[in-house]
Chains A and B, each alone.
Chain A
Amino acid sequence: MRRISSTSRWVALVVAIFSLFAIVPRIARAEAPRATLRAASGGRGPVELQREGGAWTGSFFIDAAGDAPLVISRVAMREDDAVRVPRTASVELEGAKTVAPGTSRKVKVTWNPDPGALPELWGHVVVTTNDEQAGEIAIGVHAQTVSALGPLEGHLLTALFLVPLLGALGALAFKLAFPQGRPRTARRVAVGVATVQLALAALVAWRFRPDVTRLDGNDGLQLVERIVWIRPLSVEWYVGLDGHATLMVLLVAAVGALGAAASTRIERDVEAYFGLWLAAIAGATGVAIARDLVLFVVMLGLATLPVVALIGGWGRRPERARAAAGASAVAFAVSLVLLSVCAALLHHGATRTFLVDGTAVARGFAMPELERVAYTRGAGMIGGVPLVELAFVAGLVGLGLLAGLVPMHAWLPTAAAEAPAPVVALLVAIVPRLGIVGMVRVLGGVMPEGSRWASAATVGLGAISALHASAMLLSERDLSRVAAFVAMAQSGIALAALGSITPQGLVATGAIVLGGGLAVAVLALWSGALDDRVEGRDTSALGGLFSEAPLLAMLAAVAFAAAMGAPGTAPFWGELLAVIAVVGAHPLLSGLVVLALLLKGAAVLRVAGRVIFGAPPDGWRTLPSLEPFGGKFPDLRTHEGWAMAPIAIATVVLGVWPAPMLGVLAGAVRDAVARANLGPLQLGF
């Protein structure tokens, strides 16, 4: 028997393998149908519905791309255990369910919006076929009703973000074009841009409908915009509005505009200052509206980086300011890293979903999709620790750094002491509230299981934070640091309220976001007015302002009353609801919260009493800083009035009539409570 050479054997083996690789796929292709979806206008989607009579319609095609006939078993709007799209949307397959290879079937999507329904539709149509390899496939659909806003309709939130961002780029361009600088023009343009954003924010708040919930579709969000941003990472530009976001947007825009108006003492590198200011405002707006976790983290970076530069670049005492900026930068960096870790963990535990155009992805970063993932303790373990617990801790620490929670707070009072007054307003009114909004959205929204797991610990941490900040207030004399400690205490109370997982707690966080933010903002701006007059913010040298400068004293009285959380001011509602929430959920820990409020009230009142009441201190008339004013403390100036009075008035109005502030949270709270599985009876009033 002739032996086959080894070479021949190897050649035969290689040929056989190649043949196998060449033939098997052909056999497989020939036997497997393949389904793809294509919008009528071409491309993937989302399919834009157009108005046709009283309805909105659009269509897409199911292409049988394989060699075998495609059998369509199901075409429907994407739904699962919860509503995803408005109920009045429907889908209809035109023609038979079997599609010959190389041909297409048309699918018609119709939306009949009810009068008074949401003016937009975002969703997916899912198609199930005998293409087992593809599984369930989808294409996005979108419809937008028209209104008097024209092209702006449907892009309001992006405009809200872009206006200050373009303003920031404009400021930079201005500096490049005019190296010698034109500070007055730059200041006016910046204030104008911030005012435009404030007007847009007011429009957004006016358009927002408080009673919308997930049952109305669009994941309970309004003014949604969604496109794919970084496809390989499944990251989307996904923005939308809920109750907390609406309050935050209003706060950011108000502080942005009024803080810019109050930045009259900035004389060096004015263009750069306002450029950074507007960039920070744009970033904070982005955080408020972001619905994609990566976008959220990116926006946090955009919001915090300029703040660091503002502290370091325009601080009161350059050396110390640079150190404070460094501390803030590290805090923000650690926060971003931890939030990235949190995002990665949540992404790791996520399930298959679709991007806005219908692209199926193994995992995404869209928060409404992550909110649907059951991150139970059995969902995944890393190093023996449940994934959700790791993600929760990472998120809590990351956001706690921003919120100024103990023991991660040290950067906040340090930075506040060195920053110029408008930047202090940004630091104490905006940055900690970014942390609070993040906690509501990421910890409470995406990880209700984690919130429940850590409920007592969260309330305890919040209460201790509030207690520590309040105790620090007792011995504090620097007005900016007072504002920082008040903001810290508010953050602690908000965390305690959130940790209670009660409807009252969730509303409390909203009230602390807007009401508390306004209170500390006016306090910070007031510290600037003080700084302008006596070149310092030490309250121990002050006294008797009521008789010296009554208007300024009145504003201070409102600011201090709000900082105390006195009834009749906006923050009171946050604190009252927080107490009610924590008493209900964790009665023993509620004692700490009450104690913190007692201390905070007493401490702020001490400062207020020292500054506003009593007689002017001895030697007041001979103070060198008051020499230009003839020894008399100048009363409120016009630009100061414009910057502070609107916030003070809003603080009082929302304190006496909180329904507009608390009412916008109705839908968001209802959704959050449903996700936290508190049961309908609790809400069923």
Chain B
Amino acid sequence: MFAYTGLVQRVVVSDWLVLVIAAPLLAALYSAWSAWTDDDERLDQAKIDASVRRVCLFGQLAGIAALGWQVQSIGLGGFATQHVLRLVRVGQLDASIDLALDATSAAMALAVLAVGAVFFGTRERVGARVATAGSVAVAGALLAVMADGAVAAMIGATAASLALVATSPRERPRVAPRLSDVALAGGIAVLFWLQGGAWGDERYVPDLGTPRVVAVTGAEATEDGDDGPAVHIDATGQITKRSDTQGKHASPSGRATLRFDALPGATLFLDESRTPLADKSGAPLRAPMADVSIPAGRHALRIHAGGGLDDYVVGNVTFEDGAHVALVPLGPTLVYRHAVDQLGLASKQGGSAGDRLRGRGAAIVVAFLLLAISALLRAAHGSTDASGAALAPAAILAPAIVLVRFAPVMALSSGAQGAVALLGATSAAISATLATRAGAWRDLEQRLSIATAGAALAGAALGSRPAAIATLVTGMLGIAALAMTAGRRGGALGDKPVKDATSRTASALACAAISGAPAPVVAGTWAAAGDFAPAMSGTRPALAAACVAFGVVYAGLVSFAAWRAHHLGCAKGASEAHKKNARSDRALLALGALALALGAAIAFSPRLLGAEDDGPFAVLFGGTPKGGVAVAAAALVGFGAALGGWASARKRYGVERPASWAEQEARASAHSGHRFAAWIGDAPALTAELVARAFARFSSELDAHVFEFVPRAIAAVAGGIGWVGAEAERDLVLRFGARVVSARWTPSRRTIAAVVVTIAIVVIASFVMSARSAR
């Protein structure tokens, strides 16, 4: 009998996922070593730069190869995990650097590595500092997207941000990433506690009757996607539908298999055994572990997590012959998979983690708003200058995955979904509006990144995770490609246009990708409306209309901004430099094509991102079987808006644009709603700065006039004492007739020694006397 039933993610334990991140990190180490080399020992600087570039490029390509190998080994619908490093285990909080590979992380990791590869591939020379920082940024972004928990993702995101800053030390860093860190910390703290337990007046009260680890049998998501449907267990623990995969685990000798992938490093003890479960060589098995053979029968499993924690016993687990049993943690966790898995588990009494969470709607709203703010602030980091501009989108959009991963928890609260969707959509719309008038590449990139992150958040909030991932991936690739082509020269838009045909083509492909990205979001949000609208009873038409309106506005504006950048940044007419850099430009072309192809592939086959639905156009048309035509129409409207943006940008900024376009634009901006949008976009930051400054001034005044009063008074008293001391130090001269006696006392060395020795004697004597009195 199993107390809990439901669906959990099937996991394969891998030993090689870390290679994907290690490859660019090793390249970074090499670059750092090159930078460290003494001047005297240096080879020709150009040679060093070339070798650094090659090593870094090789690091990215090796990462792609490792990623491909791992994806191939687990299958497209599989899920692999690897424990790398334990970070902290305190009470219920367990954070490690664990890596996860599934379709979602694979798609995003591929995008990050592709950006990194093209960044290093398109440069003939790259300085060791930029190479080191660039490789670290890629590795950090990879950790952010491949982490199996929010804490590790946070570390990766920060590493990427800091590395990005280091690529261009002449630019002062923005405050936004640090604020993003704190918002993320706050968000995950709230999210952690709302998953179980409560703090009473005097002590922590755990969820009564809720175990920390439960055994679930057979009820797992499929391993590689073609093993048939998952098994479902009814309320009494009886298996109602068997998986085809179970036959693989059956053993004629009456054995079952066990999986335990929580609490990395923990060991398992079967029944009363004093030795942990071991592998064939006799070495203790440590979590994460999978497919551990257990004798069939009823067993108790003792989990020894170490780190000062109590052992935990999962009792009375029946291992049927050939059954596949998983130990699943319940309660507070920051591991995405565990947080999501427990939502699908229900106790025999019918209660589930989801039921508990539904009663904490306000906390869910707070948690996910903080996560959303964190993702937007991270995107607001933008690039610093041309050195890191190409890497910036990958580094700053990757952390948005934290919210996307936790989205199933958010789905329990319509308030949280609504709040995040509203925040994301508003941010996206405002940023896209501002992007249409961006005067410099740096601003354009920042605004496009915020718009992409906002759209992805809105998509995730409305239940369309594949659409959110599609948006992020195409945004990463497209904006990076645009930065490396039309924005290669940096500075003001249109100042130094790129003239070679290949760059122009790559730029156009990137713009197409960016323009196309909104289409899945439109459809995705519309698709999600089917689930979301019932929660807003009576408002479904309004919600649907809002989704479509947002999609149209967003698609049109982003498309316009991207194509405007293309037209201003690229001009016709090949240059000599182009001939020299033909090979690099082909790489750029490949990146632009990849941006388009990956976005299209995800849009046409959401199964790449782990979506349940399959078939062509599933993202566009799937998810709402009842309203297929309406969804298709909405998607086409969104796509039409993107086309409208393209046409408008071409007309305004194309080859035949007037020479005085900049002045005209400035005049138009002064009278349009653009200023209003700019004001809205800047208002939060300005308000925060204003409040912070006011608070800082208040604190300074408080310190100066209140808190420092005491030390000042003391200083005055000390001054008085000093005067008295000075007076006392004067020679005290006494005259007895002709005899003069000076009473000035200046301690001699002998006196000082005597004082110190006396103190020492007193201390030692105190010990000795105590010892003597004991006898």
Cα(A1)–Cα(B498), bound, Å: 143
Q: Is A327 an interface residue, CB under 8 A from the partner?
A: yes
Which single member of B158, B206, B363, B715 contacts A326 (CB below 8 Å)?
B715
> How far in angstroms is the closest Cβ of chain A from B765?
10
Residues of B within 8 A of A598 (CB): 178-179, 182-183
B697 touches A614 (CB 8 A): no
Residues 716-749 of B contacting A (Cβ, < 8 Å): 717-719, 721-722, 749
Cα(A410)–Cα(B89), bound, Å: 37
B172 touches A663 (CB 8 A): no
Residues of B within 8 A of A566 (CB): 158, 162, 178, 181
A685 touches B263 (CB 8 A): yes
Nearest-CB residue, chain A, relative to B140: A568
B170 touches A472 (CB 8 A): no
Q: Is A544 an interface residue, CB under 8 A from the partner?
A: yes
Chain B, residues 186-197, CB within 8 Å of chain A (1/0): the string is 101110110001
B91 touches A504 (CB 8 A): yes
Residues of A within 8 A of B711 (CB): 323-324, 327, 330-331, 410-411, 414
Which of A237, A667, A683 has the most B CB atoms < 10 Å from its CB? A683
Which single member of B85, B181, B310, B760 contacts A683 (CB below 8 Å)?
B310
Q: Mostly helix, strand, loop or mixed at chain A's interface?
A: helix
Given contacts A323-B715, A474-B696, contact A211 B87 (CB under 8 A): no
Q: Chain B interface: which size bin? A: 35 or more
Given contacts A502-B204, A566-B181, A612-B169, contact A666 B308 (CB under 8 A): yes
Cα(A176)–Cα(B699), bound, Å: 48
Residues of A within 8 A of B715 (CB): 323-324, 326-327
B774 touches A471 (CB 8 A): no
A594 touches B170 (CB 8 A): no
Residues of A within 8 A of B202 (CB): 452, 677
Cα(A550)–Cα(B127), bound, Å: 14
Nearest-CB residue, chain B, relative to A411: B711
Given contacts A176-B753, A679-B203, contact A602 B692 (CB under 8 A): yes
Q: Is B577 an interface residue, CB under 8 A from the partner?
A: no
Given contacts A179-B749, A568-B159, contact A229 B707 (CB under 8 A): no
Which of B129, B203, B719, B753 has the most A CB atoms < 10 Å from its CB? B203
Which of A579, A584, A663 has the most B CB atoms < 10 Å from its CB? A584
Q: Is A266 an interface residue, CB under 8 A from the partner?
A: no
A613 touches B171 (CB 8 A): yes
Q: Is B306 an interface residue, CB under 8 A from the partner?
A: yes
B308 touches A227 (CB 8 A): no
Nearest-CB residue, chain A, relative to B700: A475
B90 touches A507 (CB 8 A): yes
Q: Is B93 an interface residue, CB under 8 A from the partner?
A: yes
Q: Is B675 an interface residue, CB under 8 A from the partner?
A: no
Residues of A within 8 A of B753 (CB): 172-173, 176
Residues 156-174 of B contacting A (Cβ, < 8 Å): 157-159, 162, 165-166, 169-173
Q: Is A615 an interface residue, CB under 8 A from the partner?
A: yes
Which of A407, A608, A679 has the most B CB atoms < 10 Å from its CB? A407
A580 touches B708 (CB 8 A): no
A231 touches B718 (CB 8 A): no
Residues 282-329 of B contacting A (Cβ, < 8 Å): 305-310, 312
Nearest-CB residue, chain A, relative to B709: A410
Q: Is B703 an interface residue, CB under 8 A from the partner?
A: yes
Residues of A within 8 A of B212 (CB): 684-685
> How far in angstroms is the closest Cβ of chain B from A265?
25
Which single member of A43, A474, A564, A575 contacts B775 (CB below 8 Å)?
A43
A/B pair count, beta carbons within 8 Å: 266
B185 touches A475 (CB 8 A): no
Q: Is A402 an interface residue, CB under 8 A from the partner?
A: no
Q: Is A606 an interface residue, CB under 8 A from the partner?
A: yes
Cα(A547)–Cα(B129), bound, Å: 11
Chain A, residues 198-230, CB within 8 Å of chain B (1/0): the string is 000000000000110100000000000001111
Cα(A587)–Cα(B715), bound, Å: 41
Residues of A within 8 A of B770 (CB): 227-231
> How far in angstroms is the closest Cβ of chain A from B424?
21
Which of A411, A475, A567 has the most B CB atoms < 10 Å from its CB? A567
> How far in angstroms is the closest Cβ of chain A from B195?
11
Given contacts A576-B185, A684-B212, contact A228 B88 (CB under 8 A): no
Cα(A684)–Cα(B329), bound, Å: 12
Q: Is A585 an interface residue, CB under 8 A from the partner?
A: yes
> How far in angstroms is the closest Cβ of chain B from A468?
5
> How far in angstroms is the closest Cβ of chain A from B586?
34
Residues of A within 8 A of B178 (CB): 564, 566, 598, 601-602, 605
Q: Is B683 an interface residue, CB under 8 A from the partner?
A: no
Cα(A407)–Cα(B775), bound, Å: 50
Which single member of B173, B181, B186, B305 contacts A685 (CB below 8 Å)?
B305
Residues of B within 8 A of A680 (CB): 310
Residues of A within 8 A of B708 (CB): 410, 414
Residues of B within 8 A of A228 (CB): 770-771, 774
Cα(A504)–Cα(B182), bound, Å: 17
B771 touches A227 (CB 8 A): yes
Q: Is A357 an interface residue, CB under 8 A from the partner?
A: yes
Residues of B within 8 A of A683 (CB): 91, 308-310
Given contacts A553-B169, A584-B204, A605-B175, contact A597 B182 (CB under 8 A): yes
Given contacts A568-B155, A573-B88, A585-B199, contact A471 B698 (CB under 8 A): yes
Q: Is A634 an interface residue, CB under 8 A from the partner?
A: no
Q: Is A68 an interface residue, CB under 8 A from the partner?
A: no
Q: Is A109 an interface residue, CB under 8 A from the partner?
A: no
Residues of B within 8 A of A330 (CB): 711, 714
A211 touches B306 (CB 8 A): yes
Q: Is B651 an interface residue, CB under 8 A from the partner?
A: no
Cα(A658)–Cα(B95), bound, Å: 11
Cα(A308)–Cα(B94), bound, Å: 43
> How far in angstroms is the closest Cβ of chain A from B688?
9
Q: Is B669 an interface residue, CB under 8 A from the partner?
A: no
B186 touches A579 (CB 8 A): yes
Q: Is A347 an interface residue, CB under 8 A from the partner?
A: no
A613 touches B172 (CB 8 A): yes
A43 touches B93 (CB 8 A): no
Cα(A169)–Cα(B722), bound, Å: 28
> How far in angstroms is the closest Cβ of chain A from B620?
38
B767 touches A229 (CB 8 A): yes
B87 touches A502 (CB 8 A): no
Residues of B within 8 A of A291 (CB): none
Given contacts A323-B719, A567-B155, A601-B175, contact A176 B93 (CB under 8 A): no
Cα(A249)–Cα(B171), bound, Å: 40
Cα(A659)–Cα(B170), bound, Å: 36
A656 touches B90 (CB 8 A): no
Q: Is A610 an interface residue, CB under 8 A from the partner?
A: yes
Residues of A within 8 A of B182 (CB): 594, 597-598, 601
Q: Is A382 an interface residue, CB under 8 A from the partner?
A: no
Nearest-CB residue, chain B, relative to A581: B189
A231 touches B90 (CB 8 A): no
B714 touches A502 (CB 8 A): no
Cα(A179)–Cα(B203), bound, Å: 62
Residues of A within 8 A of B45 (CB): none
Q: Is A353 an interface residue, CB under 8 A from the partner?
A: no
Residues of A within 8 A of B43 (CB): none
Chain A, residues 411-438, CB within 8 Å of chain B (1/0): the string is 1001000000000000000000000000
Which of A237, A566, A606, A615 has the most B CB atoms < 10 Å from its CB? A566
Given contacts A568-B159, A594-B182, contact A475 B697 (CB under 8 A): yes
> Known contacts A323-B719, A411-B711, A468-B703; can you find 6 more A-B pairs with CB under 8 A?
A169-B756, A452-B202, A502-B91, A553-B169, A597-B182, A614-B170
- 22 A-B interface contacts by CB (under 8 A): A44-B774, A169-B756, A230-B770, A231-B769, A323-B719, A327-B714, A330-B711, A410-B703, A474-B696, A504-B91, A507-B88, A565-B181, A573-B88, A580-B192, A590-B186, A598-B183, A601-B181, A610-B172, A613-B165, A662-B88, A679-B204, A679-B206
Rank and list the top 4 A-B pairs by shortest CB-CB distance, nearest first.
A666-B308, A326-B718, A546-B169, A601-B178
